[in-house]
Amino acid sequence: MRSRPKGIRRAVRRDRANSYLLASLLTFAATVIGVRVFLQLTGFPQIGNSVLHVAHALWGGLLLFVAAMLPLALANRWAIQASALLSGAGIGLFIDEVGKFITQTNDYFFPPALSIIYGFFLLAVVVYLYLRTPRRDDPRVAMYHALEGLPDVLDGDLDTAEAHRIKGQLATAEQSDRMELASLASALIAYLQREEGHLAQASPTYWNKLASRIEAAGRRTGRRSHRIIIAGLMFLWLIIVVGYIAVLIRGGDNLDSQVLQWRVPLLVIQVTIGGLMIAALISWFTGNENRGLSVAVGGFLLSLVALQTLYFYLSQFSALTATLLQLAILLVLFAYRRWYLSDGTPA
């Protein structure tokens, strides 16, 4: 008797995994921010009575349960998309009450709670960046991804752009040294080629249109104006950092006791960020845009990872404004790199 061939168990990254995780991340962040703002504006209302208290962590658990069940029970792609959104909202509702879970007094306002939430978010961002890193697909992975797109044929949603993308994946799978895999890929390519005349023309989604409009508006500012904006942002952030350093050095009764306790680490981080901003400005004004951008991005990332984690502990929710502002500045820096430096344009 012929022995049964050993199956391949090596994990395969899901097609569009980075998009699903990004949707979950954005929903997670929006949920935490929305809940905190809502509770602040409404005076922290509670659902329940003198005995019961229905915490929003329970609603988060319910959403996480639904998010887990959807891809287990349904094969549609929209089930995965819904799972991504529901999981983000569920995690946000659940982790927002982490202060209650780690204190004997069930203290929602426990100072380290927001730092824990922010740290968890940063960890998820690292996972997203890892999944976003492109990999060379082998034939088996390419076939997995092609098969994930084929349900669009059953739903009548397959358009010319998606068909072209699937054919590219199948072309990779066709190079497999496994005859059954190569034959299946060839058959599917032949099917898609026969159906090309019946497919709808691809049309951009609302989000793609919005992104295109934002990019077009950004490009209309021109490289010179964009360059001036970046220089102004780096100089402004340097002034803010110097101001914080001066306040920390001066000390006095104006500083909170917790800030005084963490003054040395705060000074070290702020001085490092200030030095990076000075180096970035020097590179920027001497014509080395690539180095200037890289150093500035490093300074903002250090601030977002180390400094803002501390400030979420010291300043609580008020640290959110600086965090969002720095993220917006990073987007401006990344846009300049993508538009003017990534295509070999000289600095």
Residue 25 shares a structural domain with residue 81: yes
Note the pLDDT of residue 66: 97
Residue 11 domain flag: no
Residue 346 domain flag: no
Residue 219 domain flag: yes
Residue 161 shares a structural domain with residue 264: no
- Name the nearest CA neighbour of 25 among 134, 122, 94: 122
Note the pLDDT of residue 347: 45
Torsion angle (degrees, nearest 10) of CA 83, 88, 91, 92:
-150
CA within 13 Å, CB half, 17: 15
CA within 13 Å, CB half, 329: 24
Residue 221 domain flag: yes
State the amino acid at position 201 in one-letter form: Q
For the chain, the domain total comes to 3
SS (H, E, C) 128-158: HHHHHCCCCCCHHHHHHHHHHHCHHHHHCCC
The last residue of a domain, from among 171, 198, 225:
198
What whole-number distance in Å separates Cα of residue 72 and Cα of residue 86? 14
Note the pLDDT of residue 39: 87
- Name the nearest CA neighbour of 39 among 125, 103, 124, 99: 99
The boundaries of the domain holding residue 193 are 139-198
Residue 208 domain flag: no
- Entry pTM: 0.85
What whole-number distance in Å separates Cα of residue 149 and Cα of residue 77? 9
Torsion sign, CA atoms 72, 73, 75, 81? negative
DSSP reduced 3-state for 53:
strand
Note the pLDDT of residue 230: 94
Alpha helices (H) along 55-111: 56-73, 77-95, 98-101
Residue 232 shares a structural domain with residue 284: yes
Residue 76 shares a structural domain with residue 33: yes
Question: Going residue by residue through the chain (347 aa), what tens digit of pLDDT does each one get?
Answer: 455 566 777 888 888 889 999 999 999 999 999 999 998 888 888 777 767 778 889 999 999 999 999 999 998 889 999 999 999 999 999 999 998 888 988 888 888 899 999 999 999 999 998 888 877 778 999 999 999 988 888 888 888 888 999 999 999 999 999 999 999 999 999 999 988 888 888 777 787 888 888 888 888 889 999 999 999 999 999 999 999 899 888 876 667 777 788 888 999 999 999 999 999 999 999 989 999 999 999 999 999 999 999 999 988 888 899 999 999 999 999 999 999 987 544 44
Note the pLDDT of residue 90: 96
Note the pLDDT of residue 344: 46
Note the pLDDT of residue 346: 46
